[in-house]
Homo-oligomer: A and B are copies of this chain.
Amino acid sequence: MATKTKRFILPEDEIPTQWYNIQADMINKPLPMLNPGTKKPLKAEDLYPIFNQACSQQELNQTDTWIDIPEEVYEQYKFYRCTPLVRAYELEKALDTPAHIYFKNESVSPVGSHKLNSALAQAYYCKKEGVTNVTTETGAGQWGAALSYACKAFGLELAVYMVKISYQQKPYRRSIMQTFGAQVTASPSMSTRAGKDIITKDPTCNGSLGTAISEAIELAMTTPNCKYVLGSVMNHVSLHQTIIGLEAEKQMAMAGEYPDIVIGCFGGGSNFSGIAFPFMRHNILEGAKTQFLAAEPSSCPKLTRGKFEYDYGDESGYTPLLPMYTLGHNFQPANIHAGGLRYHGAGTIISQLLKDGYMGAVDLPQTETFKAGVFFARHEGIIPAPESCHAIAAAIREANKCKESGEKKVILFNLSGHGLIDMAAYDQFLAGDLVDYSPSDEDIAANLKDVEPLQ
């Protein structure tokens, strides 16, 4: 039947077999992570006590542009990849915009988000190195659900610290992790020193990703044969997520277009990096002019209002010092529903790229993002995760600009996950009960007191 194509899917033998390591192509490499005691640059070996060795090496690899996806991981990818690239005809029509809007639909993974792309890789490397137990943190639960799936696939035991506000707001994500066999603890908890310190200071603390990371690292360091794995922020996570953009690049070619703007929501950077880096490569190497836009919540605006300094990746200072755009590792983000975006800092690659002008950022109030999510659902049929609503809201802003200017830009955004387990948030939005948050300049300045200046 001669109908227009909405959905582009690569044949199985076209699914990329390598990840793209943008560090190798960057003109200004990311600044080194530092040992907090000596202030000396870290080597991969310095990360081995916390992370598996393969990921530690990927973290600091600034030379190999392409990294082979292990066969065992590729096998698992094939269960849900290639994910569809969709031309959002209905959204375009509803916005009455001349822009062409595409989205990469990562919500079709069995756990409902892009997080599985790195979870499978990290679980595989842990297993291969003889690790038996794994710990992690999770915000809204997307990462925890993905890692629970991955650990079950590779036969690892998993303990998850889930940010307390999400543990309460999103009990079904907890159930998903438990169904896959993971142990889930609300963070801050009394099971670690880091958690106890925080609860003692503030018994009503709702938790944050930074705190949950501290708890998970502490458990990993005090448990034999156990490694910590992280769902965002780190360079190796961004690396694994490039499968998104590498597929999208081929799929855009199937559609006969190339993006003028690429948009992803932004928490620690995993889904944004995944969709953006493979296209950004052509900006770096070939002078392509694609614009890259990270969509962050106004309540946690590290890219738009943070400072580029050395800071810890977690609340308690267990991580190395990372060169990052940060709001300070003690920053406690407001309780927005997009739990996956409640993180104080950006990864080291992203921070360098933002500083060097390869990408931009925009901050969005919560109600605008839910309005965009409902609008998207009613026209494209998919209820997006609250995190993904940020990318949609930013895409709608760009499409509206095109309407004003008459420009036929090609906009590509990443639909990082579906919102079927976030319906309580939609209920609140539809009832008019959601509010916007934005930290004051004083709040931000106060939390930035403790960061270390860049040299």
Interface residue ranges, A against B (CB under 8 Å):
1, 3-7, 9, 11-12, 17, 69, 71, 74-75, 78-80, 86, 90, 108, 110-112, 149, 152-153, 171-172, 175-176, 178-181, 374, 377-379, 381-383, 420-421, 423-424, 426-427, 430
Contacts and interface: CB of A to CB of B under 8 A. Distances in A.
Contact of A171 (B12, B374, B423): B423
Among all A-B residue pairs, the 9 with the closest Cβ atoms: A172-B423, A175-B423, A110-B381, A110-B382, A3-B75, A175-B427, A179-B426, A1-B74, A149-B381
Contact of A172 (B12, B176, B424): B424
Given A420-B421, A421-B420, A423-B179, A152 B75 contact: no
Contacts of A3: 71, 74-75, 78
A17 B5 CA distance: 15
A71 B3 CA distance: 7
Copies of this chain in its oligomeric complex: 2
A149 B78 CA distance: 28
A383 B79 CA distance: 14
Nearest to A383: B179
B7 A179 contact: no
A400 to B, nearest CB: 22
B11 A11 contact: yes
Given A7-B78, A71-B3, A74-B3, A381 B420 contact: no
B178 A430 contact: yes
Among A69, A78, A79, A152, residue most surrounded by chain B Cβ atoms (within 10 Å): A79
Contacts of A426: 175, 178-179
Given A5-B78, A420-B421, 13 more contacts: A1-B74, A6-B78, A108-B108, A110-B382, A149-B381, A172-B172, A172-B421, A172-B423, A175-B427, A179-B374, A179-B426, A420-B420, A421-B421
Nearest to A86: B79
A79 B86 CA distance: 8
Contacts of A176: 383, 420, 423
A80 to B, nearest CB: 8
A99 to B, nearest CB: 20
A426 to B, nearest CB: 5
A319 to B, nearest CB: 30
Nearest to A379: B152
Contacts of A5: 12, 78
A14 to B, nearest CB: 12
A209 to B, nearest CB: 22
27 contacts: A1-B69, A1-B71, A1-B74, A3-B75, A5-B12, A6-B75, A7-B78, A7-B80, A79-B381, A110-B381, A110-B382, A110-B383, A111-B381, A112-B420, A152-B378, A152-B381, A153-B381, A171-B427, A172-B420, A172-B421, A175-B426, A176-B383, A176-B420, A179-B383, A180-B378, A181-B378, A421-B423
